[in-house]
Every structure is written in C-alpha cells, then in structure tokens.
Amino acid sequence: MGTVDVANKDVTASLAEKKPKVVFVLGGPGSGKGTQCANIVEHFHYTHLSAGDLLRAEIKSGSENGTMIQNMIKEGKIVPSEVTIKLLQKAMLESGNDKFLIDGFPRNEENRAAFEAVTKIEPEFVLFFNCPEEEMERRLLSRNQGREDDNIETIRKRFKVFLESSLPVIEYYRAKGKVQEIDAAKPVGEVFEAVKVVFTPKAEKVAA
C-alpha cells in the first residue's frame, strides 16, 4: 500500500511538471465520443484516453480490481474515482504527449472533484456531444463491439446514470463558460465539421 501511494505521488508530480492541456469529452453513452476522438487525434494530434477503454483493459489485465470494475460496468455504475484517475495519470505519463482528450471522464461529481484535487489540472474546455436518447439507443444496439454493457437493460441504467450524475458535471462546467456543445445527432462527417471549428485556432478561422 505504502509503495503504491509513493509511486502515485511521483506520477502526480511528474504530470504536474508537464502542465498538460486537457479537453474533457462528454456526452451520453453512444453519443459518438470515441468516433469523434479518433478524428480529432488524426487532425489535431491529441492523445485520446477513454476512461471506459482503460477500465476494460484493467479487467483484461487480471488486476486485483478487475472483478469489481467488471461488475460496475455490467450495472452501468461509475467506478470509484481513485481507480480511474490512477489509470488516466499513468496513461498520460506513458504517452509522452502533452495534449489529451479525456473521453468519458469526469462522469460524476466525485470523478470531477477528485481529478481536480489529485492532479490540479483544470480542463481547457469540455466538448459535449448532445444527442437524443432514442438515437443513442439505436447506435448502442448496433455497435457490435461485443461489449457486455451494450444490452437494453444495461443501456437503460447507463442513460439514468448519465441524466442523474453526468449531466450535472456538464452543467458545472457550463456555469464556468467552459462547455462547447455539439449537435451529435447528425451524420459523423457533419458532427466532425462542427468539432473542427472548436479545435481550429481563432487566427486561422479569421484567415479562412
């Protein structure tokens, strides 16, 4: 326990030194966060860190937290921040980059407050993919990635958690003027056109 804590302090300190630029990518399950992050990485050279992907990799790695994480994901519940933040910090440090899209995090007030307290990192902005529930449901039911949580019962639970726990985080950042909202119900290409505007530096927009 002691060594883990010391190691994590080192990670936190090394990360703070780098002063990384972070964009939180939020939106309901199936709103297209992962799809658009892949496009952003290609065009704007960010490193994409999906909290869900990191948690699923942790299950696969046979970690001591694996069973707990698997049960939480099956129930659509949010894994305790301590676990997710450690995975995010490690991935940020290992990437060697200083620009990150943190996708699917923070998903509740606990995630948000803990990340801020531990890392002292404030996001540049929050990219919010707003999409109607019927459309997200259609997309999740045809995602076909073999995910244990893409069944109608768990999907309904995830929608409830999104409304009750994740939307308040988006509203928190909206009150700080940090939310860039995108209409995510449109086709992938049109959504990316709107995303590009957000990531293009102001001077280039004037010149274009």
Binding stretches for ligand CDP (CB under 6 A): 29-30, 33, 50-52, 55, 72-73, 76-79, 84, 104-105, 107, 111, 149, 158
C-alpha to C-alpha distance for 44 and 118, rounded to whole angstroms: 27
**Least CB distance to ligand CDP at residue 193 (A):** 22
Residue 158 contacts which entry, ligand CDP, ligand ADP, none (Cβ below 5-8 A, type-dependent): ligand CDP
Comparing CB distances to ligand ADP, the nearer of 37 and 92 is 37
Comparing CB distances to ligand ADP, the nearer of 177 and 187 is 187
Residue 65 contacts which entry, ligand CDP, ligand ADP, none (Cβ below 5-8 A, type-dependent): none
Comparing CB distances to ligand CDP, the nearer of 147 and 176 is 147
Looking up tokens 């002063």, which residue turns up? Answer: 19
C-alpha to C-alpha distance for 173 and 9, rounded to whole angstroms: 27
- Give the count of beta carbons closer than 10 Å to the beta carbon of residue 85: 21
Comparing CB distances to ligand ADP, the nearer of 31 and 111 is 31
CA 78 centroid distance within chain:
12
Which residues would be at the binding site for ligand ADP (CB under 6 A)? 27, 29-35, 139, 143, 187-188, 191
**Is residue 132 within 8 Å of 81, Cβ to Cβ?**
no
C-alpha to C-alpha distance for 165 and 207, rounded to whole angstroms: 41
State which H helix or E strand residue 23 sits in.
strand 21-27
State which H helix or E strand residue 127 sits in.
strand 125-130
Residue of this chain nearest to ligand CDP (CB atom): 52
**Least CB distance to ligand CDP at residue 18 (A):** 22
Residue 86 contacts which entry, ligand ADP, ligand CDP, none (Cβ below 5-8 A, type-dependent): none
Q: Say whether 40 sits in a helix, a strand or coil.
A: helix
Closest CA to 38 of 197, 204, 159, 195: 195
Residue 111 contacts which entry, ligand ADP, ligand CDP, none (Cβ below 5-8 A, type-dependent): ligand CDP
